[in-house]
Structure 1
């Protein structure tokens, strides 16, 4: 019988080939000193035995539909398999912007029924993806499972790495084939897989120049303009130099995604849907700035400079010409 690791390798071997090299994300025991060192150094690693969400591994679509309660859940609908995040507040700053997804509120039972119907009918005309912070509206059964997560291990990692507080837990339920395009977050993330499998592509913060992020005022802020499936090298020539990592997480696996690391996530064709929970933490406090600056620090500095210029000009349309005036002929 094939092992879970063999199955993961098989899924990777059948992955789409890309125009850039991808190394494997290390897959280690949470008790391995190398894993602890990688987290300390802000390097991604797949942890195999944290038991972080062991109390929730029985969660399936049907189980959640029966036990999660009658609260409203946020569901996104897309005409394609890609779910590209956008900021409602920034839509007005880009006049020609059209939201790529539609946001809806629905009961989990209704979401589960809709997902099952799409799977049964093989309806690919549109995809749906549930993304909801776990809150007090869930029923006692789910609360019991949640309370029995391995919080001791999480607290230990928080202490060892001098992170700030836990900010949120996000429940993610997606259809097979769903893709969250490449982006980065400004928090530390432990991504725990509960049901099904997901493929991750990760890129170091030093790949910033190769991924061409949108301006900070754009609704797609913190996301890359490069389509990894079909890069436009004429428009984004540095994308030719892109290098990254890939890995697959299955039930019980926890992927550490360091702050400012770019990542793209795909729900694999496995059990029909995927269920995940992530744990976001504020970054470690820095008492003293040391040089040379890290790639993460440079990304943060770039964002802050952009925000400052946008605030001073008070007009997104003035920002491009102002930025070019600073650079052209002086730093080019």
Structure 2
């Protein structure tokens, strides 16, 4: 048995009006295949190019180890020179990933390689973020703290993306006071005996290729797996739905600070309690006895 996933719709290109009408307003994901071929980045942005212009920069790295109470919010697990990291990506599979790397801050000249497309939403121009990963590395299933509308531009290789919207929360074993699901769920090949509620979840899947853009609506859960080494850039626009906007404000100004305080106060017991609650609450909501 597999996850109940439908393919994300694909379009060759799209007008601002059609994007707003068919995808933004109904909050549905879409892959746009041919929109950035006039960008210098379309030709230039490969791992070798990033190594050439950013090789001396020390970058933060993350892997798929479970959250530890001693870890701060988004605290890296290791650091490495970008040149060494890209050599590692090309040499062998590695769990190390880069995420939320602000390219304007680190390498301002990269701004010349891309434009901010007009999708009819006001994109946040100060925080284009890059994400890198090695073969078969993946993110935990999560949603972003600000519940933003995300445009995810992929460069080099292939990347699998699995999405769920917020209506699926009851089936995903969401960790309380957090933005992630249980970290021991393998969304590539889930164990339905261990995670029976996942059978009810309905989501989306696609594989991104070089130059393709994935639109992820507000608050969508996403699991990203690098089929081959590669990298992506995300541009974002603030949540427009009042419920999502207020949730984003709560997450940023209360939830993450509360969670960090509880980690300091209770240590690993807090993490363990949250992990147990994810199962207890999910099974109770779905009338599952295990």
Give the corresponding residue for 2:180: 223
Query: What is the TM-score normalised by the length of structure 1?
Result: 0.65
Once the two structures are superposed, residues 212-240 of structure 1 have per-residue CA deviations (whole angstroms, 9 ceiling, x without a partner) of 11121xxxx21111432454545543222
Q: Does the CA contact (< 8 Å) of 1:30 and 1:48 recur in 2? A: no
* Superposed displacement of residue 169, structure 1: 1.6
Shift of 1:200: 0.9
- Asked if 2 retains the 8 angstrom alpha-carbon contact of 1:202 and 1:261, the reply is yes
Answer yes or no: is 1:133 the counterpart of 2:109: no
Tell me if structure 2 keeps the 8 A contact 1:199–1:248.
Answer: yes
Q: 1:135 to 1:297 in 2, by over 3 A?
A: closer
Whether the 8 Å contact between 1:188 and 1:259 is mirrored in structure 2 is: yes
In the alignment, the residues of structure 1 paired with residue 248 and residue 206 of structure 2 have an alpha-carbon distance, to the nearest angstrom, of 26
Q: 1:240 and 1:70 mapped to 2: Cα distance? A: 46
d(CA) in 2 for partners of 1:50 and 1:260? 24
2:191 corresponds to 1:207: no
Q: Secondary structure at the match of 1:112?
A: helix
Q: Structure 1 residue 176: deviation in Å?
A: 1.8
- Asked if residue 43 in structure 1 is aligned to residue 6 in structure 2, the reply is no
What is the Cα deviation at residue 209 of structure 1?
A: 0.1
Residue ranges of structure 1 left out of the alignment (5+ in a row):
1-17, 119-123, 290-295, 323-331
Equivalent of residue 278 in structure 1, options 213, 234, 241: 234
- Looking at structure 2, the residues matched to 231 and 297 of structure 1 have their Cα atoms a distance apart, in angstroms, of 32
1:95-125 deviation per Cα after TM superposition (whole angstroms, max 9, x unaligned)? xx9x9x962222211212233333xxxxx5x
Secondary structure of 1:115 counterpart: helix
Which of 113, 138, 143 is matched with 2:87 structurally?
113
Rg larger in structure: 1
Q: 2 CA distance for matches of 1:202 and 1:130? A: 20
TM-score (norm 2): 0.73
SS at match of 1:190: strand
Q: Do the aligned partners of residues 214 and 167 (structure 1) sit closer, same or farther apart at CA in structure 2, a change above 3 Å counting?
A: farther
- Output the CA distance in 2 between the equivalents of 1:237 and 1:298: 31
Which residue does the alignment assign to 1:237?
196
The Cα RMSD (Å) is 3.9
Given candidates 23, 28, 49, the residue that maps to 1:63 is 49
Q: How has the CA–CA distance of structure 1 residues 53 and 68 changed in structure 2, closer, same or farther, with 3 Å as cutoff? A: farther
Q: Contact 1:167 / 1:281 at 8 angstroms: preserved in 2? A: no
SS in 2 for 1:200: strand
What displacement does 1:44 show?
0.7
| Secondary structure class of the residue paired with 1:239 | helix
**Following the alignment from structure 2 to structure 1, what is the Cα–Cα distance between the partners of residues 16 and 129?**
27
Q: After the TM superposition, which of the residue ranges 129-138 and 29-38 deviates more from structure 2?
A: 29-38
1:23 aligned to 2:6? yes
